[in-house]
Amino acid sequence: MKKCVVAVMLVLSFTMAAFGETIPVQIDGALGKLSAVIQKPEGDKMPMVMLLHGFTGNKNNRPLTDTADLLEKNGIASIRFDFNGHGDSDGDFVNMTVLNEIEDARKVFEYVKALDYVSSVSIGGHSQGGVVTSMLAGQLGAENVRAVVLFAPAAVLRDDAIRGNVMGTAYDAGNPPESVKIFGRFDLGRDYMVTSQTLPIYETAEKFTGPACIIHGTGDRIVPYTYGERYHKIYADSELHLIDGADHGFNGVEEEAAEIAVSFLKKH
């Protein structure tokens, strides 16, 4: 009996050591409190990776959760959070813009940078979260951001705004309405449409001179992989991974996308 108890305790100890802690936190964002979760492996000092979800998404979307779990197994901490107007965070979706999402991400960066166990900060983002990632990294520079990972980065959003079309919903780009309905349930505000038309996405992103990894599916019909290829061209130190046939959400290949990201992040 004692041997069984000891064995169980050893298994539990190994599990705790392998997976560390999951810590829910709230962080002041651009338009209120941001709901976030930190996955922290055992240890006193470690790298931290911020993981940013996409348009209408949340912190529990794949492949971000796959990436967080795999990072934890490799001794790297991560933080996932809901942007303003998304998930469990404060704010209304109608007031969300790429610019205030960048401010949200900057607040999260400042929060994790100040944690005593964090040795460096890298940033990864999916879709619109990839755009936010690239622009924030460009603003902060390689002296503050160790590395960048972009999952299907949605730089197409500027072109869509100029055309007057968001996720299949058309509007007058020269005089956008106060809001348009997206997916039948999200009210996208005029500020989003107007500010997106002149968003300096690549111009800001290229200021980041550190290592970058772009992961994109050739079957992406929302953001063609050519937008990922352009990121690869503007970054001086980058690698591009095209997953054959993968769609925008990497459905069915989430683990493959996460493995590519974590392999890259382990190197840096």
Does any domain span residue 3? no
> Residue range 182-210: average pLDDT?
93
Query: Does some domain include residue 7?
Result: no
pLDDT at 140 over 70: yes
Side-chain half-sphere CA neighbours of 112 within 13 A: 32
> What is the tens place of the pLDDT at every residue in 79-127?
999 999 898 999 899 999 999 999 999 999 999 999 999 999 999 999 9
Q: How many domains does the chain have?
A: 1
- Whether 183 maps to a domain, the answer reads yes
Q: What percent of the chain has pLDDT over 90?
A: 81
pLDDT band of 222, cuts 50, 70, 90: very high
Average pLDDT over residues 12-23: 58
Residues 131, 182: Cα–Cα separation, whole Å: 19
Q: Do the domain assignments include residue 221? A: yes
Residues 65-91 pLDDT 10s: 999 999 999 999 999 999 998 989 998
Query: Is the residue at 61 inside a domain?
Result: yes
Mean pLDDT of 190-216: 96
Asked whether the predicted pLDDT for residue 15 surpasses 70, the reply is: no
Average pLDDT value over all residues in the chain: 91
pLDDT at 19: 58
CATH code for the domain of 206:
3.40.50.1820
**Which range of residues forms the domain containing residue 25?**
21-267
Residue 82 inside a domain? The answer is yes
Please count the residues of the chain: 268
List beta partners, residue 120: 47
For residue 236, being part of any structural domain is answered with: yes
Token pair listed for 78: 């991560």
Own/partner long-range contacts of 194-199 (Cβ < 8 Å, ≥24 apart): 194/161, 195/97, 195/98, 195/99, 196/97, 196/98, 196/157, 196/158, 196/160, 196/161, 197/158, 197/161, 197/162, 197/173, 198/158, 199/98, 199/99, 199/131, 199/157, 199/158, 199/161
Please state, for a pLDDT cut of 70, what percent of the chain lies above it: 93
Whether 64 is in a domain gets the answer yes
Dump pLDDT digits (tens) for 42-68. 988 999 999 999 999 999 999 999 999
Q: Assess contact for 124 and 51: CB atoms under 8 A.
A: yes
Spatial distance between the Cα atoms of 208 and 265, rounded to a whole number of angstroms: 16
Radius of gyration of the chain (CA): 19
For the chain, give percent helix, strand, coil, nearest 5.
40, 25, 35
pTM of the complete model: 0.89
